[in-house]
Amino acid sequence: MPITDFLVKNAEKYEDEVCLVEINPDILEKERITWKDYSLVEPERTKNYRKEITWGKFDRRANRIANCLLQNGIKKGDKVAILLMNCIEWLPIYFGILKAGALAVPLNYRYSSDEIKYCLDLADCDALVFGKEFIGRVENICGEIPNVKSLYYVGDGCPSFAIDFEKLWKEYPKTAPDVTLSDEDYAAIYFSSGTTGFPKAILHKHKSLMHSALTEQNHHGQTHEDTFLCIPPLYHTGAKMHWFGSLVVGGKAVLLKGVSPKWIVQTASEERASIVWLLVPWAQDILDAIDAGDIDLDEYHLDQWRLMHIGAQPVPPSLIQRWLKKFPNHSYDTNYGLSESIGPGCVHLGVENVHKVGAIGKAGYGWQTKIVDNEGKEVSRGEVGELAVKGDGVMTCYYKDEKATNAVLHDGWLYTGDMAKEDEDGFIYLVDRKKDVIITGGENLYPVQIEDFLRRHEAIRDVAVIGMPDERLGEIAAAIIELKPEYEGVTTEDDINVFCGGMPRYKRPRKIIFDKVPRNPTGKIEKPKLREIYCVQKLVESQTTK
């Protein structure tokens, strides 16, 4: 059945129960209101701090949005992009698109105007729904995206080049649209990329979304009484597919618009969150705040918090050992996945296997795994090979990219590009990545894009960007820069950092190293050699000093 059926069932069974809450700490910060004083302040000053919606209202809103889209030119099979920060409107819009039979196309809110245009063109998007944070970026390209027939705006102060979406959809019926959906209908396009720059468009059917929901709920045992605290962006398959576990059982979820340690703990306490998904940096920051005395756990109501899980990047075992000392009653879990495998869960550690932290786990619910050599033959246990996964969550294809699709899909198996090995108990450990993607704080950075930008600097002769281990972020981007002879001793790190101000902040290299860039006889950068010099040595040195 399509994923939208869960929403319909929840609306029938739990119509008046709250299903989504949005918490915006910035409202209180601007008003200089502390969380402790919140209940004492007049409601008018804090009314936007917390928003909520019931299952019945969620379903009716999704129906109105679907009917609005259908009556304004969108038909089954069309694509509607979403460019929004996390907000209470996000998921009803997503489900409205699905109920219309269209494909939802979530966009990374970090994308520049050029990247937004590229993705809209690649996915053949017919409409774009965007928020106030993106007015400038969308305005820059609104005359260059002729296939996008409608620009729908969410929020106050609708710009002249867009349509006020909330005012529009409210005019349409709240009854379900007359659209029939099946597991085999296309549901969504997500974006990913290797090291070659701009993203690939990943096409998924409704059966993929359904598979991710059932996998997530099986792994973490969500019940109707659980409350899920969701902090990562909803454009990620990870955040949304973890929420799907709550959707299956009609459980409440809280969208927190902020990542400060105090607000995470305070929101978990205030909203009685029982499941919290974190990234490594956020977990690290919470522990540091506790150690520094900035957070006193005795001041919060956290007895209901039963599960903390982490995804999107390698997890240091020392972090989890430290976490469980502070929160001894917590279960811990981690999931491995890709957007091509509809997010987390194709490989799963399991709460009962905390002694195996460091491994990504075994095949998840409804999944198969194998580790293969370059010929596609399975390697022996303990040997390194490429991890491949198989299940109903595997993508249909890279949209409009047959060559890239054929490179990773073989007889239903998705070849992940990650090098891995199994231990004697069958647990899988990642060893390295074929791809050069740098995962920093759960976000993918693509070295070629950073290298291409840096090569514009007049002083740079050559450059290579690699991922360098970082305790807090997992990895950081390090740029090894070879200067032109006349600039050696003249150009400084500060000069390069100022130049990098022309890139989005999250893409800027966090470490600048002036050195020769080694290339092999065919002209390719020898990144393994650079990793050996700057990553392996650093790791050895850090372990030696402990």
Strands 385-390 and 362-363: unpaired
Q: Which fold has domain 317-433?
A: Luciferase; domain 3 (2.30.38)
pLDDT the model gives residue 307: 97
In degrees and rounded to multiples of 5, residue 295 shows phi and psi of -125, 125
* N- to C-terminal Cα separation, the chain: 53
Output the average pLDDT for the chain.
Answer: 90
Q: Can you give the residue ranges of every domain in the chain?
A: 4-258, 317-433, 438-545
User: Which residue is listed with tokens 């979403």?
Assistant: 82
Exposed/middle/buried for residue 258 (C-beta within 10 Å: 0-12, 13-18, 19+):
middle
pLDDT the model gives residue 521: 45
Q: What is the DSSP letter of 494?
A: H
CA distances (Å), origin 294, targets 263, 265, 446: 12, 11, 35
Exposed/middle/buried for residue 203 (C-beta within 10 Å: 0-12, 13-18, 19+):
buried
Residue 171 CB neighbours (<10 A): 10
pLDDT the model gives residue 343: 82
Q: In whole angstroms, what is the distance from residue 348 CA to residue 363 CA?
A: 6
Segments of the chain scoring below 50 in pLDDT: 194-196, 521-522, 539-546
pLDDT the model gives residue 540: 43
Q: Which fold has domain 4-258?
A: Rossmann fold (3.40.50)
Per-residue pLDDT tens for 215-250? Answer: 999 999 999 999 999 998 999 888 889 999 999 999
Q: Model-level pTM? A: 0.84
Alpha helices in 165-222 (DSSP H): 165-169, 206-220
Per-residue pLDDT tens for 333-391? Answer: 999 999 999 988 999 999 999 999 889 999 999 999 999 998 999 999 999 889 999 99
pLDDT the model gives residue 38: 63
Sign, CA torsion 203/88/267/444: positive
Kindly state which CATH superfamily the domain 438-545 is placed in: ANL, C-terminal domain (3.30.300.30)
pLDDT the model gives residue 36: 63
Q: In whole angstroms, what is the distance from residue 74 CA to residue 80 CA?
A: 8
